[in-house]
Amino acid sequence: MKHEIERALSDLFRQQYAVAARLQLRAIGVTADQEHHRVDSGAWDRPSPRVVRMAGSPRSPEQDLMTALLETGPTALASHQSALWLWDVTRPPARHAVTVGATSPMRRGRFDLHRLTGPP
């Protein structure tokens, strides 16, 4: 079982620029105690309250945007300058922008958060 969790973690970190949301960790079987142990031991760090990052992984605009999206939840979308950057229209912004639905909880981080108004 432990081998399966390690493989799932490896796949998740590889697919998401070395970051993962707490909810994703729980879904693959990582307990809160295991998460805290890896953060306390320095194997992971915490770029935002609900996201962990493989310690020593290179920071990048992609990783920063993925962190913002994971922090704000599964319905969050890259928006404004971040969306333009993803479409290769402009350079990566100094601070990413994320848009969430009207009923999504507000999250804070190193990103600009926008909220949709009205029905989806």
The whole-angstrom separation of Cα 12 and Cα 18 is 8
Would you say 39 and 46 are in contact if contact means Cβ atoms under 8 Å apart? yes
CA–CA dist 88, 79 (Å, integer): 13
Which tens digits make up the pLDDT trace of 38-71?
999 999 999 999 999 999 999 999 999 999 999 9
Interval 12-35: pLDDT, tens: 999 999 999 999 999 999 999 999
